[in-house]
């Protein structure tokens, strides 16, 4: 099976939250999107989709197939679109979006021209990673933490506080993760296993969730 190497990086903090992957050359956008949602530890509470800004194309679920004529944006069904073709068409600059409300935005790029031949039937293999994942319904809090303005124990995901010993920069067991990817099991422990169950309401401080905070302490 032929694979290519890509890197998927959180736009606001490219060096603090990313996944480097080997993906099948013939993988569909929908399948890649599902794997990314798992690898970035979403709870699948929201929709995901891809954007090609160069050509004004959105690759979306069939229920979202409405071309915005006034905005000159074309919608295509991501279950029928080949990832590599879409990536090449975008000039190696696709965007992956999780949650159209909070708008978790990730850059998707091929980082090597080499084609890797691996005797496996796996859609995706994890090569390198940094950062535990997103915080569901709390992008503001995640950016505040990544900027050094808050501790994880002060933050929440999905409306519940994170554990005091929560580590955003864990050591990844790539062999274990890739074994799970190959056999289609759940990749990570559920959020219910790492949160306390205590409701946490954030303050009202405004925070620009479009800022790039790489390099900040």
CATH number, domain with residue 43 = 3.10.290.30
Nearest one of 121, 122, 110, 99 to 35, comparing CA atoms: 122
Residue 131 φ/ψ region, left for φ over 0, alpha for ψ in the -120 to 50 degree band, beta for the rest: left
Compute the radius of gyration of the chain from its Cα atoms: 17
Residue 157 lies in a domain: no
Predicted local confidence at residue 207, as pLDDT: 33
Predicted local confidence at residue 184, as pLDDT: 65
Per-residue model confidence as pLDDT tens digits over 146-182: 999 988 888 888 888 888 889 999 999 999 899 888 8
Residue 89 lies in a domain: yes
Residue 84 lies in a domain: yes
Predicted local confidence at residue 192, as pLDDT: 34
Predicted local confidence at residue 202, as pLDDT: 34
pLDDT tier at 70 (50, 70, 90 boundaries)?
low
> How many structural domains does the chain have?
1
Predicted local confidence at residue 9, as pLDDT: 98
**Distance between CA atoms of residues 102 and 107, nearest Å:** 16
Residue 217 lies in a domain: no
Residue 110 lies in a domain: yes
Predicted local confidence at residue 194, as pLDDT: 36
Residue 216 lies in a domain: no
Q: How many whole angstroms from its chain centre is CA 79?
A: 18
Residue 62 lies in a domain: yes
Q: What is the 3-state secondary structure (H, E, C) of the chain?
A: CEEEEEEEEEHHHCCCCEEEEEEECCCEHHHHHHHHHHHCCCCCCCCEEEEECCCCEEEECHHHCCCEHHHCEEEEECCCCEHHHHHHHCCCCEEEEECCCCCEEEEEEECCCCCEECCCCCCEEEEEEECCCCCCCCHHHHHHHHCCCCCHHHCEECCEEECCCCCCCCCCCHHHHHHHHHHCCCCCCCHHHCEEEEECCCCCCCCCCCCCCCCCC
Per-residue model confidence as pLDDT tens digits over 89-148: 999 999 999 999 999 999 999 999 999 999 888 999 999 999 999 999 999 999 999 999
Per-residue model confidence as pLDDT tens digits over 22-57: 999 999 999 999 999 999 999 899 999 999 999 999
- Stretch 66-71: mean pLDDT, rounded? 67
**Distance between CA atoms of residues 190 and 75, nearest Å:** 32
- The boundaries of the domain holding residue 103 are 2-128
Residue with tokens 């290519």: 4
Predicted local confidence at residue 50, as pLDDT: 98
Predicted local confidence at residue 191, as pLDDT: 33
N-to-C CA span, the chain: 42
Predicted local confidence at residue 40, as pLDDT: 96
Residue 171 lies in a domain: no
Predicted local confidence at residue 185, as pLDDT: 53
pTM for this one? 0.84
Both tokens assigned to 105:
């935005």
């Amino acid at each position: 099976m032929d694979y290519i190497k890509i890197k998927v990086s959180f736009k606001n903090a490219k060096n603090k939250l990313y996944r480097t992957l080997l993906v099948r050359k013939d993988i569909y956008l929908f399948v890649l999107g599902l794997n990314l949602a798992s690898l970035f530890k979403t709870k699948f509470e929201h929709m995901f989709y891809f954007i090609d800004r160069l050509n004004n194309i959105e690759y979306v679920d069939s229920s979202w197939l409405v071309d915005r004529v006034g905005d000159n944006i074309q919608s295509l069904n991501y279950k029928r679109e080949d990832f590599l073709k879409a990536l090449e068409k975008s000039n190696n600059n696709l965007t992956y979006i999780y949650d159209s409300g909070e708008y978790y935005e990730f850059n998707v790029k091929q980082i090597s021209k080499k084609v890797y031949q691996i005797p496996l039937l796996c859609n995706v293999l994890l090569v390198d990673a940094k950062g535990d994942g997103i915080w569901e319904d709390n992008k503001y809090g995640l950016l505040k933490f990544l900027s050094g303005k808050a501790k994880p124990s002060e933050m929440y995901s999905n409306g519940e506080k994170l554990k005091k010993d929560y580590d955003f920069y864990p050591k990844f067991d790539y062999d274990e993760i890739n074994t799970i990817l190959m056999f289609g099991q759940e990749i990570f422990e559920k959020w219910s296993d790492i949160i306390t169950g205590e409701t946490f309401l954030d303050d009202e401080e405004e925070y620009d969730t479009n800022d790039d905070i790489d390099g900040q302490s």
